[in-house]
Amino acid sequence: MPCGEDWLSQPLGIVQGFFAQNGVNPDWEKKVVEYFKEKLKENNAPKWVPSLNEVPLHYLKPNSFVKFRCMIQDMFDPEFYMGVYETVNRNTKARVLHFGKYRDVAECGPQQEVDLNSPRITTLERQTFYCVPVPGESAWVKEISFSFLNPSFNAYVNANQARVSPSTSYTPSRHKRSYEDDEDMDLQPNKQKDQHAGARQTGRVGGLQWCGEPKRLETEASTGRQLNPLNLSSPFDLNFPLPGEKGPACLVKVYEDWDCFKVNDVLELYGILSVEPVPSALSNDERDASLLDPMECTDTAEEQRVHSPPASLVPRIHVVLAQKLQHINPLLPACLNQEQSKAFVSSFMSELSPIRAELLGFLTHALLGDGLAAEYLILHLISTVYTRRDVLPLGKFTVNLSGCPRNSTFTEHLYRIIQHLVPASFRLQMTIENMNHLKFIPHKDYTANRLVSGLLQLPSNTSLVIDETLLEQGQLDTPGVHNVTALSNLITWQKVDYDFSYHQMEFPCNINVFITSEGRSLLPADCQVHLQPQLAPPNVEEHMSSLLAAVLPSVLNKFRVYLTLLRFLDYSISDEITKAVEDDFVEMRKNDPQSITADDLHQLLIVARFLSLSAGQTTLSRERWLRAKQLESLRRTRLQQQKCVNGNEL
């Protein structure tokens, strides 16, 4: 069995070793998973695994062990593959068993062919996910992740100098055939098989395999030729939810426990990279000539294009290990509830108070000296939906920052500050044109049999900043009205209704929505804070840039850890404090029945919750309850004063 570092560069060799030892006994599959689990537990081992998020695809060796941080954008139909198959040598008649797991194509040696009538063939099922890089992932997340990876990246490149060139050509050392085509070969007359054999000798890609050690098909990246033989006029759409996103999309093959995952989950995957062009390189004529499965032939050209894209654009990852991520902040342990993470959490919580004070000062300067708005921005940034009661999401805290200068660069640069603090975010410029023309809601394309993404297909804990200061007078058309409704539903119910043409399907979400506006927002909000600038910098851009430049990177990292960690803390209210809050509510109602409603009490409890958590307290104290009442009183007084100045604007 291969040893040493071969588990990174030759993982299939490791798999082959376990398969050879155990044969058709299914225990070999569990042993493979356990082997890689143990390898990744070794000191800094995950940092040595090349990441598709940081390393360009052309640097990566085919069939090497890689990792990928991604979001499930779509789930395709399950597919069947040959888990175990048998080859027979045409000359010696010797038979050899092979495993099909973690591969796209069946491997055959010289003079070998798959015996499709062998009783030892095992047909298994796997699930395919279409995964994209995490939408809106902040640049600092990528930079810190890459700095962690950097030593391994250099070592990886040095160890694979032959692959540093952007060329995607290489010479296969073994002869391969496509799994999907093997089953159809027994339907072909011998004459057609001979024709395919002749084609293989000349290096052509027929319905099944190519032989004679021809060069790998050149891809679009290296030659400009159209690898996709379907030759559709439109370029291949990687289906990213947000505009301007970069990074590879991947077809992810999952072999175990795929029912644990759902659309929009964020995963960290470890698996075997496959860039075999065969499954995506069969033209319609070649498919007909190889007599593929009749059910497969009913696929439309668009569906073939979407589900079997060129591997140069959409590589495949055969998953060995998959982990659903609580968060994507590289400064924190991946799983905060594990025993080994408790020391980190405890150490950080011990220095929470000065970090909060520094963050409050930092955000106060960003909000032009408005300390009250900075307090509420902190509460907003650590808010999260902690449970759902019937249809009501508890813990959501959408803040509307009104009083922002109209058509100013202030909101743009405030968003830049938020980008530097949170792991994932997106700024939606709420103009009439954007509302009428952008696609907010994901919808099902039945022709291509895929889920077409929309702006609101976002993973949990994404910060969505809606800039309403850019809104001018104009007419919303029907798509624009639907988009406004979708935003309202997202804010109110924390759900997005995906469009499946004949019906809508609710997808619960957990998105932090922050709205900047001149007056009161057109969208619903849990809390409106009117901005009262105490500073008037002549140049907002310079002010914000100097603010960021003045913060030490180590301090900025503490802010990032603070805002991510506090989302995951448990919180409770003792019976004693519950009774005190109830008595307080009754007393306030007694003095003035109109002064506070049940909704106002709920708002107070939410503010008190996140105020406590922001101070590192996981239970509500009398002190924090009084402070929450004080903040709410100041906020409401400010709104009332502004209303008196501007009439009914607020």
Is position 606 within any domain? no
User: Buried b / exposed e across 454-483, counting CB within 10 Å, b at 16+?
Assistant: bbbbbbbbbbbbbbbbbbeeeeeeeebebb
Give the model's pLDDT for residue 184. Answer: 40
Is position 583 within any domain? no
> N- to C-terminal Cα distance for the chain?
72
Is position 435 within any domain? yes
Mean pLDDT of the chain: 83
* Co-location of 368 and 305 in the same domain: no
Note the pLDDT tens digit of each residue in 474-502. 999 999 999 999 999 999 999 999 999 98
Give the model's pLDDT for residue 106. Answer: 84
Above 80 in pLDDT, residue 136?
yes
Domain boundary at 529, 552, 569, which?
569
Q: DSSP 3-state assignment of 393?
A: strand
* Co-location of 93 and 135 in the same domain: yes
* Co-location of 109 and 251 in the same domain: yes
Above 60 in pLDDT, residue 171?
no
Cβ atoms 532, 412 nearer than 8 A: no
Give the model's pLDDT for residue 305. Answer: 86
CA distance 59 to 640: 61
Q: Give whichever of 19-23, 106-110, 178-182, 602-606 has the largest mean pLDDT.
A: 602-606
E strands of 282-406, at which residues? 316-324, 387-389, 392-394, 399-402
Give the model's pLDDT for residue 341. Answer: 85
Is position 360 within any domain? yes
Is position 219 within any domain? no
* Co-location of 312 and 392 in the same domain: no
Is position 207 within any domain? no
* Co-location of 459 and 542 in the same domain: yes
DSSP one-letter string for 227-245: --TT--SSPPP---SSTT-
| Residue 235 pLDDT level (bands cut at 50, 70, 90) | low
* Co-location of 319 and 356 in the same domain: no
Cβ atoms 410, 446 nearer than 8 A: no
CA angle at residue 25 from 19 to 28, to 5 degrees? 45
Phi, psi of 398 (to 5 degrees): -80, 125
Whichever domain contains 514, its CATH number is 3.40.50.300
CA distance 434 to 192: 55
Note the pLDDT tens digit of each residue in 502-514. 899 999 999 999 9
* Co-location of 517 and 454 in the same domain: yes
Give the model's pLDDT for residue 5. Answer: 53
pTM of the model: 0.84
Is position 293 within any domain? no
Mean pLDDT of 343-348: 91
CA distance 276 to 175: 12
Above 70 in pLDDT, residue 204?
no
Closest alpha carbon to 228 in 302, 178, 131: 302
Burial class (CB in 10 A: 0-12, 13-18, 19+), 214: middle
Alpha helices in 117-245 (DSSP H): 139-159, 179-185, 190-201, 220-223
Owning domain of residue 104:
11-152+243-277+301-324
Q: DSSP 3-state assignment of 631?
A: helix
Mean pLDDT of 394-416: 94
Q: Give whichever of 41-55, 158-172, 206-220 has the largest mean pLDDT.
A: 41-55
* Co-location of 266 and 392 in the same domain: no
Is position 604 within any domain? no
Domain boundary at 545, 569, 593, which?
569
Above 60 in pLDDT, residue 240?
yes
* Co-location of 261 and 366 in the same domain: no
Instruction: Give the position of tokens 């291949």.
Output: 236
Provide the domain count of the chain.
2
Share of the chain above pLDDT 90, in %: 64
Q: CA dist 558 to 331, 332, 357, Å?
A: 9, 10, 12
* Co-location of 307 and 356 in the same domain: no
* Co-location of 452 and 357 in the same domain: yes
Note the pLDDT tens digit of each residue in 9-28. 999 999 999 998 887 677 89
Note the pLDDT tens digit of each residue in 143-166. 998 766 554 444 444 444 333 333
Lowest mean pLDDT among 28-37, 108-117, 462-471: 108-117
Mean pLDDT of 635-643: 91
* Co-location of 430 and 532 in the same domain: yes
Helix (H) / strand (E) element for 360: namely helix 352-366
